[in-house]
Amino acid sequence: MRLEQKGLTVWFTGLSGAGKTTISCVVENELRSQGYKVEVLDGDVLRQCLTKGLGFSKEDRDENIRRIGYVANLLVRNDVIVLVSVISPYRQIRTEMRRDMADFVEVYVNAPLEICEQRDTKGLYKKARAGEIKNFTGIDDPYEPPLFPEVTCNTHQETIAESAGKVLRKMEELGYYLPLMYSQNGSNLQASDIF
Ligand code: ADP
């Protein structure tokens, strides 16, 4: 375990299929392998427990985010790094999260709607286009991109490792992540040497 670890929320926002879960998973594995305490709060998973019963109106989406933010805060004050992976389409509630959290990094996981729709990792775009799902972000519900995210991952142009590397480098730059890796001659390696 890292004694020097500081709590942080890394907030991944973006369309369904943009790459939030994929990138947060790579970042999680990297941090764990380096001895950090990490938790992932994934919107799809939490909607089956913590936020079960909430729908997709603006009010319910905001409530979903507030509950997730509450849990993130509890973890962060116990020095855990929390990777929040939720569409979180509304700028105002994300701003509220930033305001309420001392340690906060926003990652805009960006890919054009056409690409997310081609990927259709969960088959949801097809259903939304067929009218089987209502209020689907990007189709018949808005997505408001962040104006000043700390990191932007353009997942249609980057490899998964490049996108995850951007997040880790920002964490390193801000002092939340210090990779402990040594090259064969014993010198310190930085995240930028790996990704
Ligand atoms: P989300 O969690 O945002 O709904 P997923 O992570 O479930 O999205 O799906 C993203 C898809 O995009 C995956 O199939 C992943 O392999 C692919 N992908 C391609 N390039 C990238 C990248 N640079 N970062 C993240 N995902 C990528």
Q: What is the pTM of this model?
A: 0.92
CATH number of the 8-194 domain: 3.40.50.300
Q: At what angle do helices 91-100 and 58-76 cross, to 10 degrees?
A: 20
Rounded-to-10 torsion of CA 121, 123, 128, 134: -90
Radius of gyration of the chain (CA): 17
Going by alpha carbons, the residue nearest to atom 13 of ligand 1 is 19
Lining ligand 1 with CB less than 6 A are 14, 16-23, 85, 109, 119, 121, 155, 158-160, 163
- Catalytic residue, chosen from 57, 88, 187, 192, is 88
The confidence score (pLDDT) of residue 4 equals 82
Q: pLDDT > 70: what percent of the chain?
A: 92
Q: Is 88 a catalytic residue?
A: yes
Look up tokens 């079960």; give the residue: 52
Going by alpha carbons, the residue nearest to atom 10 of ligand 1 is 19
189 CA distance to ligand 1 centroid (A)?
A: 27
3-state secondary structure of 178: coil
Going by alpha carbons, the residue nearest to atom 17 of ligand 1 is 19
Q: Which tens digit of pLDDT belongs to each residue from 132-171?
A: 999 999 999 999 999 999 999 999 999 999 999 999 999 9
Look up tokens 């310190």; give the residue: 188
Contacts of 87 (CB under 8 A, 6+ apart): 13, 14, 15, 16, 20, 43, 137, 143
Q: Mean pLDDT across the stretch 34-40?
A: 97
Beta-sheet strand order (sheet of 104-110):
38-42, 81-85, 8-13, 104-110, 151-154
Q: Which tens digit of pLDDT belongs to each residue from 78-129?
A: 999 999 999 999 999 999 999 999 999 999 999 999 999 999 999 999 999 9
